[in-house]
Structure 1
Amino acid sequence: MAREAVDDDEADAYRADRDDQLADFDYTARVREADAAATLVLHPAEWVEDGTVRPDRIEDTDRAIEVALAGTGDPDEWADVDAHNREIVARVREEHGDVHAANVDVLADFAGNHYAKPIEDLTAAELREFADDYATRNAWLDDEQAAALAQSVRYAFDAAKERVPDW
């Protein structure tokens, strides 16, 4: 909300409110700007000394939270994006079977819920995030699905008639 505020005072008020809420949980926030994408990074204040995160103070990286602030689609169009992505799942099921469709279903969840994007709009970095992080933490793929994941992503882009990024 601060990034979309009309004036600086409004943005400052949103940031102050965020900081007050985070202080209740002894967390701190910063915005990481990289590759034209901004990410809000939240983590325990105990990790920080003089404004710098001290790696020796980190016991469990799962306590950190990252929220993409840029690079996502329009969340107000989520239902349309989800319907589009489910059509891709159906096409993959029809052309390549249930294993690939199950993988593309997980990809559709990731694209819609995390980025509010059609599958074919995912970037190479987002696809790496999907394969390296999201799918391993959230999907509990069986051995057959895990072995087919990269091919399933290619089939999803083929079904959308788009070239898959080199990820």
Structure 2
Amino acid sequence: MPDLPDDVAEAAERLTRLAREAVDESEADAYRRDRDRRLADHGFRARVREEDARDVLVLHPDEWVEDGTIRPDRVEDTDRAEEIPLDGPGDPDDWESVEEHNADLVARVREDHGDVHAENVRAFADFMSNHYARPLDSATGDEIREFLHEYYPRNAWPSDEQRAVVERSLRYAFDAAEKRVPGF
């Protein structure tokens, strides 16, 4: 059986995040239905596994499931499943790829919006890398609030000019990543 295409996995992650952030339950259900339909087109299912430190989106082949339960005897290749952290810490071993991704977003913001915004985005990238080992554009609303209210004033040493535009800077970073900004 073929693996899940990257663009479908990315859409499943995006729709899961939108469902989690939705205020209206019918809106959240619509996002989940859209995600499930896209996955079903490729013979996959989604579930969110809740762990102590984080929630993880698990995308796995439909054929592994019988009566709503994954049957271990049906799992031939665990590499066919994908696990995507939705919050909490990422894998510290991925630091290099996370830093490369974040540095690219900082460079794009610098090019499009200037140094002040890029310095804010760099501070946010450092926060996400050091505290969560994840790309900055995977941040949740709670993580953004933690950055703005705790990390930024104490650790970034922002200028008055930076402080005045930090929220806009974060929006520019998410725009550069072509991701929706979580509510914060």
CA contact (8 A) 2:53 2:89 kept: no
Counterpart for residue 142 of structure 1: 159
TM-score by length of 2: 0.53
1:110 correspondence with 2:143: no
How do residues 45-60 of structure 1 correspond to structure 2 at under 5 angstroms? none
Structure 1 residue 126 displacement after superposition:
0.3
Of 152, 155, 164, which aligns to 2:169? 152
Instruction: Provide the C-alpha distance between the structure 1 equivalents of 2:159 and 2:51, rounded to a whole number of angstroms.
Output: 35
Taking only the aligned residue pairs, the percentage that are identical comes to: 55
Number of residue pairs matched?
103
Runs of 4+ in 1 over 6 A off after TM superposition: none
| One-letter identity of the residue aligned with 2:141 | A
Instruction: Provide the C-alpha distance between the structure 2 equivalents of 1:112 and 1:82, rounded to a whole number of angstroms.
Output: 7
1:85 correspondence with 2:102: yes
TM-score by length of 1: 0.59
CA contact (8 A) 2:108 2:176 kept: yes
Structure 1 residue 115 displacement after superposition:
0.4
CA contact (8 A) 2:98 2:129 kept: yes
Counterpart for residue 14 of structure 1: none
How do residues 64-75 of structure 1 correspond to structure 2 at under 5 angstroms? 71-75=88-92
Gaps of 5+ in 2: 1-49, 55-86
| One-letter identity of the residue aligned with 1:148 | V
Instruction: Provide the C-alpha distance between the structure 2 equivalents of 1:74 and 1:159, rounded to a whole number of angstroms.
Output: 23
Structure 1 residue 38 displacement after superposition:
3.8
How do residues 13-28 of structure 1 correspond to structure 2 at under 5 angstroms? none
Gaps of 5+ in 1: 1-34, 40-69
CA contact (8 A) 1:37 1:71 kept: no
| One-letter identity of the residue aligned with 2:122 | D
What do the CA deviations read for 1:67-86 (whole angstroms, capped 9, x no partner)? xxx71111100111011000
RMSD: 1.8
Structure 1 residue 37 displacement after superposition:
5.7
1:131 correspondence with 2:148: yes
